[in-house]
C-alpha cells in the first residue's frame, strides 16, 4: 500500500519558503533574535561614556579635558556624553562608526597613544578626523541637541545671532566655528589652506531662516532698543546737568569780564568761540572700549573667530556693537581667552560710554563728545603711575572714505598694526636706528600708525617666526603720493587737554601731524563730566583732509586717552558711519 506522506505530514515538518520547514524557520528566528539581541547588547554596551574611558588613554587625557566644560556640567543638568558627540544615532551609521572605531582599538592595542606625550603627538590627526566627519554630515551629532530651527536669538549674544544668520544664509555648519568646545583646541595647528578647506561654507547646508527665529530676533532687537533709549535718557540727563553747570560758569565769567570793563575799560573775552544750537543736533551713544594689543593683523588672523565675516565685508559693529562693554572688561581684567593684554592695570576702566552730538552749518561740522570722568588707576609699570602726566585727557578722531582699505568695516582700526610702538611685534630700537627707512619715516618714538596702502606686504600669519605687520615694507615715494591722491588715507584730528592743543594731520605711511588750522576744540571738565566740542571745516583743499559733502557716507572712529594714559593704552570705538542729514548714519550731523 502506498502512503502519501506529503499530504499527511505535520505543520512543523511541512516545507515552506526556500525549502525550509516551519520548525526550521522558527529555529532560525529564535537564533536570529538571540544573535541580534547579543549583538545589539554588545554594541550598546560599547556605546557609553563609561566604556569610552575604560582605558587610561581616554580617562587620563580627553576625559579630564571634557569634565570642566559645559557639556559635562551645566545649569540644566543635561550632559552630553562621549557617544552623543562621536557615535551616530541612525543604526546604519552607528554600525559604520563602530567598524571604523576598530582603528582606534588598534591604536590602543599597539600602544600608539598610551601616554600623554604620544597622545599629544597624534592629537591633531585625531581631531582632523573628527572635524572632517562632522563636516561631511552637517554636524549631525551636534544637531541631535542643537537644532538651528529651535534656536531662540533672544538668549544669544549679538555676535552669536550674526554668526547664526550667516550660517543660515551661506551654508556654515556647527563644527566650522565650534572646534575645541569639549577638548583642547588644536585648530591653530592647521595650515591656512587646511582652515579654508575645512571651514568653507557648503551651499548644500543653506537653510531657510525659520519664522520663529525671525520673530525672536524682532523681539530681542525691540527689547535692546528700549534699554538703549533708557540708557540714553540717563546719559542725556547727566550731560544736561554738566552743560547747565558750564553755562552758569560761562555766565559768571562774562559778568566778571563786564565788571572789569566798567572798572578799567578792558575788552571782555568771549566765553566760547563755538556757539551752536545743540538742541538741533542729533545724539548718538557709542561705547569706546579697551582693545589691549588687538590689531589689524589679529582681526585678520586665525585667532579671531569673525575673520571670515570681516573679510567678506561685514562691519565690526554688526557683531560687536552691543558687547563692547563686555569685551573691554574681559581684556582690561586679563580674563579674556584671547590673551590680548600682557600688562594689566588694576582698576582701569574696561569701557567708557560716550554721547556724541553732531550738527553742521554751511561751512563747519560740529561734534560734541560727553562722557563721565573716571577714578584714577595708577599704572604699576610707570613711575608715578601716570603715563602722560601733562595730559589728563586726550581725544582723537579719524575720518576716511571707502578708498582706504578696511575703513568701511573697521573705522580707524585699519591704522593699528601689531608692530607699532608698544605692540607685541614692535621692532627693537637698534633695528629702527639701523633701518634705511629712518631717512623717510620718523622712527624716533617707534613705529607709528600706518595703512596697508603704504606697504608692499603685511605679514598676517607669522610663518617661520616672521614678525606680524609690515613697518619695514614701505612703498616708494611715488606709490605713496599716488595713494594720497586716491584718498587712501585717514584724516586725523587730535586734542591734548593739558596744553589745550589741537593737532591736525593724516595717516598713510605714518602718522603725520601739524598745526590745528583745520579744527578748533573747546574742552571742559565740569560736574565729573568731560565735554569736548570740535569745530571742523566741511571742505578743505589741504593734503590729508577729507572734505565732507551731503549725500555721502564717511567712515568714522575715535579714541579717548583718559586718566593720563598714552600710546596703545587708550579706549577706542568700532567703525561707524558719519554723514550730513542722513538717518542711515550712526553719527548724523543735522543742519542748524
Q: Coil, helix or strand for 522? A: strand
Tell me how far the alpha carbon of residue 456 is from its chain's centroid: 27
Q: Mean pLDDT per segment of 10 residues, for the chain of length 592 residues?
A: 50 57 60 62 74 80 88 89 87 77 74 83 90 92 87 87 87 91 86 85 92 91 84 70 67 62 42 83 95 96 85 90 94 91 96 96 96 96 96 97 96 96 96 94 95 96 88 97 96 94 95 81 93 95 92 98 97 98 95 96
Question: What's the confidence (pLDDT) of residue 269?
Answer: 40
Q: Where are the alpha helices (DSSP H) in 443-508?
A: 477-485
pLDDT at 41: 67
What confidence score (pLDDT) does residue 231 get?
Answer: 73
**CA 140, CA 232: separation in Å to the nearest integer?**
44
Q: Is-contact 332 349, C-beta < 8 A?
A: yes
- The CA distance from 407 to 465, in Å, is 29
Q: What is the pLDDT of residue 203?
A: 93
Residue 519 β-bridge partners? 536
Distance from C-alpha of 123 to C-alpha of 134, rounded to nearest angstrom: 17
Q: Where are the beta strands (DSSP E) in 137-281?
A: none
- Report d(CA 213, CA 160) in Å as an integer: 13
Helix, strand, coil percentages (3-state) for the chain, rounded to 5, are 40, 15, 40
Residue 307 contacts residue 196 (beta carbons within 8 Å): no
Which grid cell is 102? Answer: 576598530
Q: Give the per-residue pLDDT at 19.
A: 58
Give the pairing of strands 529-537 and 351-360.
unpaired
Q: Which residues of 367-406 are buried (b: 16+ CB within 10 A; e: fewer)?
A: bbbbbbbeeebebeebeeebbbeebbbbbbbbbbbeebeb
Which three three-digit cell numbers place residue 346?
588694576
pLDDT at 451: 97
pTM: 0.76
Radius of gyration of the chain (CA): 33
Residue 449 burial (CB count, 10 A) = 18
C-alpha 333/C-alpha 325 separation (Å) is 12
Class of domain 358-591: mainly beta
According to the model, what pLDDT value does residue 28 have?
61
Give the single-character DSSP code of 58: I
Backbone angles phi, psi at 471, to 5 degrees: -60, -35
Return the pLDDT at 43.
67
Every domain of the chain with CATH number 2.60.40 lies at 358-591
pLDDT for res 3:
45
> Helices then strands (H, E): number in the chain?
20, 13
**Residues whose CB is less than 8 angstroms from the CB of residue 486 and which lie 6 or more positions away in sequence, other chains included:** 403
* Measured distance CA(580)–CA(556) in Å, rounded: 13
31 within 8 A of 41, measured Cβ to Cβ: no
How does DSSP classify residue 148? G
Q: What are the backbone dihedrals phi and psi of residue 364, each rounded to the nearest 5 degrees, phi first? A: -130, 150
Identify which of 52, 191, 60, 196 has the alpha carbon closest to the alpha carbon of residue 115.
Answer: 60
Helix (H, G, I), strand (E, B) or coil at 398: strand
Q: In 360-496, which ranges are continuous DSSP H helix? A: 407-410, 429-434, 477-485
Sign of the torsion angle spanned by Cα atoms 98, 101, 103, 109: negative
Coil, helix or strand for 40?
Answer: helix
Amino acid at each position: 500500500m502506498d502512503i502519501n506522506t506529503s499530504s499527511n505530514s505535520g505543520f512543523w515538518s511541512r516545507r515552506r519558503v526556500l525549502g525550509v520547514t516551519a520548525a526550521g524557520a522558527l529555529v532560525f528566528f529564535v537564533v536570529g533574535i538571540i544573535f541580534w539581541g547579543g549583538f545589539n547588547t554588545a554594541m550598546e554596551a560599547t556605546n557609553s561614556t563609561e566604556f569610552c574611558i575604560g582605558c587610561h588613554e581616554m580617562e587620563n587625557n580627553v576625559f579630564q579635558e571634557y569634565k570642566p566644560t559645559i557639556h559635562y556640567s551645566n545649569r540644566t543638568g543635561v550632559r552630553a556624553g562621549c557617544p552623543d558627540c562621536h557615535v551616530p544615532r541612525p543604526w546604519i551609521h552607528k554600525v559604520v562608526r563602530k567598524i571604523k572605531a576598530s582603528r582606534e582599538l588598534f591604536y590602543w592595542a599597539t600602544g600608539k597613544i598610551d601616554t600623554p606625550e604620544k597622545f599629544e603627538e597624534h592629537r591633531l590627526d585625531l581631531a582632523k578626523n573628527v572635524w572632517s566627519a562632522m563636516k561631511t554630515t552637517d554636524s549631525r551629532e551636534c544637531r541631535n541637541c542643537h537644532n538651528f530651527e529651535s534656536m531662540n536669538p533672544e538668549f544669544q549674544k549679538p555676535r552669536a545671532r550674526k554668526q547664526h544668520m550667516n550660517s543660515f544664509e551661506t551654508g556654515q555648519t556647527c563644527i566650522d566655528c565650534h572646534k575645541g568646545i569639549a577638548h583642547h583646541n588644536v585648530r591653530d595647528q592647521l595650515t591656512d589652506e587646511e582652515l579654508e578647506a575645512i571651514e568653507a561654507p557648503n551651499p548644500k547646508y543653506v537653510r531657510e531662516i525659520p519664522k520663529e527665529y525671525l520673530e525672536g530676533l524682532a523681539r530681542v532687537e525691540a527689547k535692546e532698543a528700549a534699554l538703549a533709549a533708557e540708557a540714553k535718557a540717563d546719559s542725556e540727563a547727566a550731560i544736561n546737568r554738566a552743560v547747565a553747570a558750564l553755562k552758569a560758569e560761562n555766565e559768571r565769567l562774562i559778568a566778571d569780564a563786564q565788571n572789569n570793563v566798567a572798572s578799567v575799560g578792558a575788552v571782555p573775552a568771549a566765553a566760547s568761540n563755538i556757539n551752536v544750537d545743540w538742541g538741533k543736533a542729533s545724539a548718538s551713544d557709542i561705547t569706546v572700549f579697551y582693545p589691549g594689543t588687538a590689531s589689524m593683523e589679529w582681526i585678520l588672523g586665525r585667532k579671531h573667530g569673525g575673520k571670515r565675516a570681516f573679510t567678506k565685508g561685514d562691519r565690526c559693529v554688526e557683531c560687536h556693537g552691543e558687547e563692547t562693554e563686555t569685551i573691554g572688561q574681559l581684556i582690561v581684567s586679563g580674563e579674556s581667552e584671547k590673551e590680548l593684554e600682557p600688562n594689566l592695570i588694576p582698576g582701569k576702566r574696561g569701557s567708557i560710554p560716550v554721547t556724541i552730538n553732531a550738527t553742521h552749518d554751511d561751512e563747519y561740522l560740529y561734534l560734541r563728545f560727553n562722557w563721565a570722568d573716571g577714578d584714577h588707576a595708577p599704572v604699576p609699570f610707570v613711575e608715578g603711575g601716570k603715563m602722560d602726566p601733562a595730559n589728563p585727557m586726550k581725544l582723537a578722531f579719524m575720518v576716511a572714505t571707502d578708498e582706504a582699505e578696511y575703513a568701511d568695516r573697521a573705522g580707524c582700526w585699519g591704522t593699528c598694526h601689531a608692530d607699532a610702538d608698544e605692540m607685541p611685534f614692535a621692532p627693537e630700537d637698534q633695528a629702527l636706528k639701523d633701518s634705511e627707512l629712518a631717512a623717510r619715516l620718523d622712527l624716533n618714538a617707534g613705529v607709528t600708525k600706518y595703512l596697508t596702502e603704504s606697504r608692499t606686504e603685511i605679514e598676517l600669519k607669522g610663518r617661520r617666526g616672521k614678525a606680524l605687520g609690515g613697518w619695514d615694507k614701505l612703498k616708494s615715494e611715488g606709490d605713496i603720493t599716488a595713494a594720497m591722491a586716491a584718498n587712501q588715507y585717514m584724516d586725523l584730528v587730535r586734542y591734548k587737554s593739558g596744553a589745550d592743543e589741537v593737532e591736525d594731520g593724516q595717516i598713510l605711511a605714518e602718522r603725520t601731524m601739524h598745526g590745528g588750522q583745520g579744527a578748533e576744540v573747546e574742552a571742559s571738565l565740569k560736574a565729573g563730566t568731560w565735554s569736548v566740542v570740535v569745530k571742523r571745516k566741511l571742505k578743505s583743499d589741504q593734503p590729508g583732509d577729507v572734505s565732507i559733502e551731503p549725500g555721502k557716507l564717511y567712515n568714522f572712529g575715535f579714541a579717548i586717552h583718559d586718566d593720563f594714559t598714552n600710546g596703545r593704552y587708550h579706549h577706542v570705538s568700532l567703525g561707524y558711519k558719519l554723514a550730513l542729514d542722513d538717518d542711515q548714519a550712526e553719527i548724523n550731523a543735522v543742519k542748524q
